[in-house]
Chain A
Amino acid sequence: MRADIKIKVCMGPSGIATGGADVIEAFKNEINSIGKKAIIEERCSLHQVGCLGFCAKDVLVEVVVDGKKTIYEYVKPGMVSRIVKEHILEGNPVTEWIAGEEYYNFHKKQIKVVLSNCGEIDPEDINAYLAVGGYEAARMALTLMSPEEIVEVVKSSNLRGRGGAGFPTGLKWDLSLKIKSDVKYVICNGDEGDPGAFMDRSVMEGDPHSVIEGMIICAKAIGSHQGYIYVRAEYPLAVKRLQIAINQCYEAGLLGENILGTGFDFDLKIYQGAGAFVCGEATALMRSIEGKRGMPTPKLWRSAEKGLWEKPTVLNNVETFANIPRIILKGADWYSSLGTERSGGTKVFALTGKMKNAGLIEVPLGITLREIIYDIGGGIENGRAFKAVQTGGPSGGCIPAELLDIEVDYESLALVGSIMGSGGMVVLDETDCMVDIAKFFLEFTQAESCGKCIPCRVGTKRMLEILNRITVGNAKEGDIELLEELGQDIKVTSLCGLGLTAPNPVLSTIRYFRNEYEAHIKDKKCPAAVCKDLITFSILEEFCNGCGACKRACPADAIIGKRKKIHKIDPEPCIKCGTCFDVCKFNAIMKM
């Protein structure tokens, strides 16, 4: 039998959690027992929510017979024998298990550039990458193009830094190219620290060679012979995959001395972060590579002039580098035509929160938020109402429903008080309290502040304390104004990007959801029933059937009631943990 049967099983974390390993095992046994040859592989490995992008339907299995793809959703080991028997042996796909309309809608408006290889090729095999045209762009850049030509292509592609700030990549390279120095560095920033973001991780784990290729091209463009990839400590698989890829490149003559016989040298090394969000900031990241505390340093010089070890340095984000080979191959015009006038290309987003279809998506810049959330994301889960979408993680802001039709690009997001950021997109519904969300993000930045400058070190703490007062009902008139004043000042006086953007979640929620803040302060109520100190739990008698699930689950023994009789919550011992609310199957617990 020809080896034209491919079975790809999603082994992302949710794939694993839903039994992906058992599914693989079942396929192996089944295929062996019928004596056929087939390629069975893990489509996305431990991490990748991003693979097929659609882990809500795991375990996803892709079966390719004679080039025809079929995707099954919710696959359990017990379903395997039927798939093998009917589909592989008899050629009749098991229609009732095939992924439905939602799966296709999820992909309809996406354009995969950076993610085009993710989940398609084996990230640990350089030949797989070569087979899809990998390192063709590097070959072109090294053999046919001058540094100036490369920079010109990148410039006219309109590619802007995908790390969040959106600095034009071509301009950055141009600055560095023009500086004369024997030693220059290329750094790839893989310190993806925003909570709720896993774009770069997916690229590093799913298509590490594209990042390396982008870096080789950059090295050639600016005349650098040493590169570093800085990966955060929490991504061990990304480190492993990148290391494998780097080793393969050295073997294939794509890294090291005299690359592809062109006389160009470039060495690449991985640095592992050690767990500090602020190291995503360029100067802090460089200090970290130098083996110091990751405290941002004042920008007397641009990184292009004096960066790592005081040498000219170009630092770009993972996604930015991964775009480069495609731009070189397909041309600047093609890339810039994908986006808007001011920002070319596509952007990867990690769509999470209260979505029906959470996952990793790649869309052309200029798409509207509404399209992303409703067409791709399938709208809000459990039929609840949309409240806001948070973009840009702890540096970004919340965008309310009335602004859903804005186009996604750097400028328009900034205009509404948020930022593009690295691509985290968290959707919030009516059960989310905006004060609590603002507090959550500020808690994060406050804890991650490096402590160097006063506005960020003390200012974010004071803002957090005011927010705490608000959420426990101790706030006073004027606290909202104080938050705004302080937030505005911190946004001006802080030393680095972390502090300069830290007030954004607070300021944007005040801007669009001021009434929620006021409700907390004036009425001592949390409209979304989230803030513990402002809510009480009670049992709705008409729904309670006395099953006792809440009583058993209550950690504080605050629920009283005999079996089969209506239960009651004693507010005195109740610690408002919400466990009863979670376990009640009859919606009999009310919080307000």
Chain B
Amino acid sequence: MNLLLIVLFPFFGFMINGFMQLRSLKTGHKISSKQSGSIATFAMVLSFITAIYYFIQFSGQQEDGRLIEQNLFSWIKLGAFHVDFSLRLDSLSLLFTMIITGVGSLIHLYSIGYMKEDETPAKYFSYLNLFCFMMLNLVLGATMPHIFLGWEGVGLASYLLIGYWNQDTAKVGAGQKAFVMNRIGDLGFLIAMFIAYKYVGSLDLVDLQKATLSPKIASVVGLLVFFACTGKSAQIPLFTWLPDAMAGPTPVSALIHAATMVTSGIYLLTRISPLLLQAPDVLSVIAMVGVTTAFVSAVIACAQKDIKKILAYSTVSQLGFMFLACGVGAFDAGVFHVMTHAFFKALMFLGAGSVIHALHEEQNIFKMGGLSRKLPITTFTFVMGWAAILGLPPFSGFFSKDEIIIQSLHSQYGNQILFIMALASALLTAFYMTRLLVLVFFSPSRMEKETEEHAHESPLVMTLPLIALAILSLVGGFMHHSEGGHEEGQSIMIASVVVALIGAAFAFFRYRKFDKEEMTNQFVEKGLGIDVFYNKFFGNGVPLLAKGLSKWIEEYFIQNSMKFCTWMVEFSGSVLKSFQVGSMQVYLLMMVVFGLAFMIWILESVMQGVIFYGK
């Protein structure tokens, strides 16, 4: 077996589908989603099987034996700077690989049904495979530049897929927004890489983990990496792209913007966790940003009407929880929540996709209702996801989320503020998820007659992944051994379940008999004006700054210094020109004058003893 296989299968899928798409552009021959989708899904399944092989191999080994490294070729070689293109598999990357290939396979399968009516499914599936290829590079790369390659690659794939329906300029704009926001974060990644190289002398992750840096350097590197993560993982201040990214096809939202890509920030932080532990200040910043994001986006989610937007803000909120876990030093809990979240959030996105599919692209939850009779499987699986995100035992979210909430209080870096905000976010999460669930599936129908009649359960290719993910959401929590169990941990668990139930009950009784559209606060619904602020501040500020620079720096400073240079040349030329009169006798006079001056200088030197002449 070869580690490269995991990465190469999606790459081949990407190539095959890409070439098929190019050929169909030339010949006009249409490719069905079944053809291209089965190739892409097959590639992912093969990759998943390879990952399972390694999982079995690892589970038979001791903790410290779980490492496979494979050096492929020398990638960058510039004098003393040397980067190998090598893959490294350890427990952490194996977990992420399993999530990417496993959940990825299910979502590929689901896409076959979802993209049935699409014009260019080969293009879609090639992008999806490209994304998986890049994401696997991200988690398997052994060096920072390799991770950066994957980091940029998933950003590209995400951009392509958000703007997949490129006839609609708003969707293309959403893709551009995601790309630009990510680029801002990438700047942090790059600078962190440069600084790390300067002080560690290597970009290999193992060397970075072993390095001991001064607290100041560790803080700078940690903060810059965290800034990069706020871009990719949609945290304050760069989170605004994720809700807009819902413009892409729903399976894309499930795979990229819920299960995998947005969790790469957690992966990166966990990878360099030894560095972060050297800088406790950065940890507290991460925890604060994480919990604030969790709370703020949960508030915004409560006022959304679009089913996908709710799930998007919910994702941001859950990512905030993961960052909170990283920030209190409980990286394990964060990664565990990545896994469970991948299961239940992918499930909910796919469920939402199933609903949208059934209702012909209707996304407003106030124009749904009573779908539990029409879509029984979707409803059932969605309820499982709902229970998991609420953290009801024994669903997976219960284990991971409560672990984070416990750690936010009991960890070495935890404190009451983090704990209370985490609990408040959990309450809001329960509220908005129950609101979504009740309004879509259980309240009286508010649909138009025609849509209601056409609503039907999705085909098997779409319900199968739903069922698989529902099972995973149910049992996913038992894959991890919690160290909790002490008394206080138990009381916190009970408290958080009670809080979730209170939120759920409140939403349930409020929306059970809802039959009109809710008047939500426009300010909250539009994302607390953060987008407006960015538009006003950066959208107008940067051109203003540029204008100012062009006026003051360009016009006055650069142009004038250039003018000064030309003036200097002109002036010295005009001075020197006066010596070149073209008359031999003037030259002779000058020769005599300077010759005399030289002789006087020599004589003077001899007299003062500077030059010794003779004996």
A, B bound: no
